[in-house]
């Protein structure tokens, strides 16, 4: 049996399951007309149709009236007039054909024939594949004659990024032909002109909607079971043609036609999706933005039209899932069409592989704790990652769908992401659509599960070995020797048993009674950072203009100190603590796997960036006027100049107009990479010891990692007031509470930060702002001279009911100004 016959039989089974044979007395239990038949949705019917075909199941003979209905569904109104009048001989569309039919309909004053032809062609896959082809014979003559009648200029316009030329195959012309053997032969310019004419007419949208509804089940069948794209790569033309419809975002499409079409598009193989992404990237901003807005509309429309809960998950809504997967194509097109750097990559620090089975593997839990970053198949096919993006065509933030973020259940989504990725869709597989707050919830679940796992494994090992269980990462440190104590302890753990770093952190200050429920850890991190970033130590240099730190290339400290800094950053993320660190963005890009480049100097070394920019833009004689060579100098820790040759014998190689770009790139590479290679490698090693198994690199962009570590400097105390809870007899209407908030709002910026530090253990807002903090103000007795106190572990302020606003302000200022250390109340 040939493929065409098999396809025809499967389609008959599909129609029998979805529409029936039309016989009200049918006894065939696999026919929709049978009274005992349970109705199926299209996807289930498609799968069932294939199974019935394989076993040669019974097929009903449709009665004559049913045949007429089928004929009417496919051809709509094709039995109008003779062949000349209804254009029944048209089996595909070109711009010339459409213009001819339009002229005929205008003369007749009736557009039924046009509606008919559109319905017939757009509901037929083979017809769409052949339509609007750029290799259509004599198409230029036909176009000239049509354009001449419209008094247009018959000359062809030069293609631009916004309007490609005759063939969309012009995309990425510099790529190797062997890598791009398959052109998309669709005349995009002609297709857009046709849509412009058609979509201004009544009833055209309705015809196209009906055609798409009929077409898409067949597309799904073809792609899922018959490998049509592998047999005929021009099958992609269908999706190119349909997606040029600028009305796809309108309500009549959003209800049924577009969701079904997106589901069919998701069945395309990865190679086809990559071709589509590259094609869109070549079309420019207007097209990519329209695609992005269309899929965003579909997702939002579906989300707000339904109610989701713990039982009815948004992950199970096929329309939302399909829209998200299609939005991914627009996201990658935006990256490809923007500024991309795929070359300057940092080498990953590999973990030594062990042949021994881990306990996770013995317990069959390796899927939950599998190592290595995830790789998106489409990302791999395109050869580009989101971290490679310097500046996308459309800002990353525009791909976030807030309506979806409001309804996604991250605990369930995390399970799908880690365990059921093959059978369940997780929105974390498309992290661009999630905001940083939602992604942070996913990271939190991942970290907590690892902590509980390490605790459980410790208990198991202790039972077997007969030792006292140690379920926490315990650090006992002295305040005045915090770096030495922390360094020795963490270095021993990282060498002897690095998995202990995945336990929950528990810090104890020697001689103090504070029990660490989170607050003591916050102070530990703060004190460590204050010590490490002290300019007197010399590990980092500080820029007074940018207020940022950078690695000191001539530091006398050993690598273990830098490893400790990396460990602290990793532990802060792992234990959900915010740090007061001030690094330029290039540090986070390097942590995510990218080397520093010239553009990164703009925030890390702005003065140098400006000098190199002026060198590149200089219009005079660079060699004579600038008198630069490929030998550079910079100051060491003690202010002495250090000379460095960017090239061998660099002192003798002058910088000229011809080689100045090379000079700029080599200078930038030295400052950001080579000069601090030893220090940064140790720093990254410490960071990766804690985060190597985390989905951090997969979920977050560098600027989002900075937000995770540092929190937000923007403090919205109005938002904090709205979300604060009260206990012990206080309420938002209590006079003392009203006085308290008036006092807080009257504070200056520095005093507000001191209050935040006193109450929460950090002067930064968490991811999402102060509104996400959930502070508690509890009554701590009546009027007294005692100072307010706090439980930083729980963001709780214990506030006595002072007798006046003035006393409240005086006591509060004293408390936040002289607060350091922990004691038992």
Lookup: tokens for 619: 């219009």
- Reference 777, options 800, 805, 754; nearest CA is 800
| CB-based contact 508:523 (threshold 8 Å) | no
DSSP state string for 686-706: HHHHHHTTSTHHHH--HHHHH
Across 1-29, b (16+ Cβ under 10 Å) vs e yields eeeeeebebbbbbbbbbbbbbbbeebebe
CA 507 to chain centre: 35
- Reference 15, options 5, 30, 4, 3; nearest CA is 30
Query: Per the residue annotation, which of 389, 710, 793, 803 is the catalytic one?
Result: 793
Contacting residues for 742 by C-beta, under 8 A, at least 6 apart: 805
CA 154 to chain centre: 44
Which residue(s) pair with 633 in the sheet? 643
Q: Active site includes 793?
A: yes
d(CA 93, CA 117): 9
d(CA 197, CA 475): 73
CA 49 to chain centre: 37
d(CA 476, CA 469): 17
**Count of C-beta atoms within a 10 Å radius of residue 825:** 7
Contacting residues for 137 by C-beta, under 8 A, at least 6 apart: none
d(CA 107, CA 338): 47
The structure tokens 């012990």 sit at 728
The H-assigned helical ranges of 408-518 are 410-418, 436-465, 482-496
Across 357-396, b (16+ Cβ under 10 Å) vs e yields eeeeeeeeeeeebeeeeeebebbebbebbbbbbeebbbeb
Catalytic site residues?
A: 793
């Amino acid at each position: 049996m040939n493929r065409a016959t098999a396809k025809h039989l499967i389609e008959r089974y599909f129609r029998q399951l979805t529409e029936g044979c039309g016989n009200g007395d049918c006894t065939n239990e696999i026919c929709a007309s049978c009274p005992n038949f349970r109705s199926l949705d299209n996807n289930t019917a498609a799968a069932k149709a294939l199974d019935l075909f394989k076993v040669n199941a019974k097929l009903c003979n449709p009665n004559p009236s049913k045949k007429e209905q089928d004929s009417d569904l496919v051809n709509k109104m094709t039995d109008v007039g003779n062949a000349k009048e209804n254009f029944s001989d048209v089996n595909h569309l070109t711009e010339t054909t459409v213009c001819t039919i339009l002229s005929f309909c205008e003369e007749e004053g009736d557009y039924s024939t046009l509606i008919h032809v559109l319905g017939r062609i757009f509901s037929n896959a083979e017809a769409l594949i052949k339509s609007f082809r750029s290799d259509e014979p004599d198409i230029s003559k036909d176009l000239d004659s049509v354009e001449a009648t419209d008094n247009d200029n018959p000359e062809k316009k030069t293609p631009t990024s916004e309007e490609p030329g005759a063939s969309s195959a012009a995309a990425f012309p510099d790529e190797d032909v062997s890598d791009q053997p398959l052109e998309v032969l669709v005349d995009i310019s002609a297709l857009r002109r046709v849509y412009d004419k058609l979509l201004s007419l009544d009833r055209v949208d309705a015809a196209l909607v009906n055609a798409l509804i009929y077409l898409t089940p067949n597309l799904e069948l073809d792609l899922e079971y018959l490998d049509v794209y592998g047999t005929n790569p021009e099958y992609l033309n269908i999706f190119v043609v349909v997606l040029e419809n600028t009305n796809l975002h309108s309500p009549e499409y959003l209800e049924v036609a577009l969701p079904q079409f997106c589901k069919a598009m998701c069945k395309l193989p990865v190679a086809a999706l990559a071709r589509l992404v590259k094609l869109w990237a070549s079309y420019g901003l207007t097209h990519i933005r329209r695609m992005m807005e269309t899929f965003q509309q579909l997702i939002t429309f579906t989300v707000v039209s339904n109610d989701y809960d713990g039982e009815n998950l948004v992950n199970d809504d096929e329309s939302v899932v399909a829209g998200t997967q299609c939005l991914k194509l627009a996201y990658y097109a935006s990256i490809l069409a923007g500024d991309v750097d795929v070359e300057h990559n940092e080498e990953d620090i590999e973990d030594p592989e062990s042949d021994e089975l881990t306990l996770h593997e013995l317990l069959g839990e390796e899927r939950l704790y599998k190592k290595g970053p995830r790789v998106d198949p489409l990302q791999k096919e395109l050869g580009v990652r989101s971290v490679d993006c310097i500046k996308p065509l459309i800002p990353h933030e525009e791909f976030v769908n807030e309506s979806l973020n409001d309804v996604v259940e991250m605990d369930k989504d995390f399970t799908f992401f880690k365990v059921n990725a093959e059978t369940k869709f997780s929105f974390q597989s498309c992290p661009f659509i999630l905001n940083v707050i939602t992604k942070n919830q996913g990271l939190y679940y991942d970290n907590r599960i690892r902590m509980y796992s390490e605790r459980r494994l410790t208990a198991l090992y202790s039972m077997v070995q007969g030792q006292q269980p140690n379920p926490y990462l315990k650090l006992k440190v002295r305040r005045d020797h915090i770096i030495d104590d922390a360094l020795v302890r963490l270095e021993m753990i990282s060498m002897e048993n690095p998995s202990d770093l995945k336990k929950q952190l528990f810090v104890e200050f020697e001689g103090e009674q504070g029990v660490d429920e989170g607050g003591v850890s916050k102070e530990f991190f703060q004190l460590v950072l204050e010590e490490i970033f002290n300019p007197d130590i010399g590990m980092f240099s500080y820029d007074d203009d940018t207020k940022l730190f950078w690695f000191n290339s001539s530091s006398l400290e050993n690598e273990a100190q830098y490893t400790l800094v990396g460990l602290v950053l990793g532990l802060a993320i792992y234990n959900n603590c915010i740090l007061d660190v001030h690094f330029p963005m290039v540090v986070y890009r390097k942590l995510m796997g990218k080397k520093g480049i010239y553009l990164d100097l703009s925030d890390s070394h702005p003065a140098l960036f400006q000098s190199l920019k002026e060198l590149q833009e200089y219009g005079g004689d660079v060699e004579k006027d600038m008198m630069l060579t490929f030998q550079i100098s910079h100051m060491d820790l003690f202010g002495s100049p250090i000379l460095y040759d960017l090239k061998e014998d660099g002192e003798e190689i002058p910088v000229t107009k011809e080689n100045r770009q090379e000079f700029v790139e080599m200078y930038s590479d030295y400052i950001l990479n080579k000069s601090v290679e030893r220090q940064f490698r140790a720093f990254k090693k410490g960071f990766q010891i804690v985060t190597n198994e985390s989905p951090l690199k997969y979920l977050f962009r560098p600027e989002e990692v900075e937000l995770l570590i540092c929190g937000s400097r923007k403090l919205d105390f109005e938002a904090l007031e709205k979300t604060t809870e009260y206990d012990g007899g206080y309420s938002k209407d209590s006079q003392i509470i009203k006085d308290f908030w008036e006092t807080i709002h009257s504070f200056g910026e520095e005093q507000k930060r001191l209050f935040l530090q006193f109450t929460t253990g950090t002067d930064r807002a968490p991811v999402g702002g102060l509104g996400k903090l959930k502070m508690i103000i509890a009554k701590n007795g009546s009027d007294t001279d005692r100072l307010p106190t706090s439980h930083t572990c729980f963001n709780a302020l214990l506030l006595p009911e002072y007798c006046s606003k003035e006393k409240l302000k005086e006591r509060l200022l004293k408390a936040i100004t002289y607060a350091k250390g922990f004691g038992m109340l």
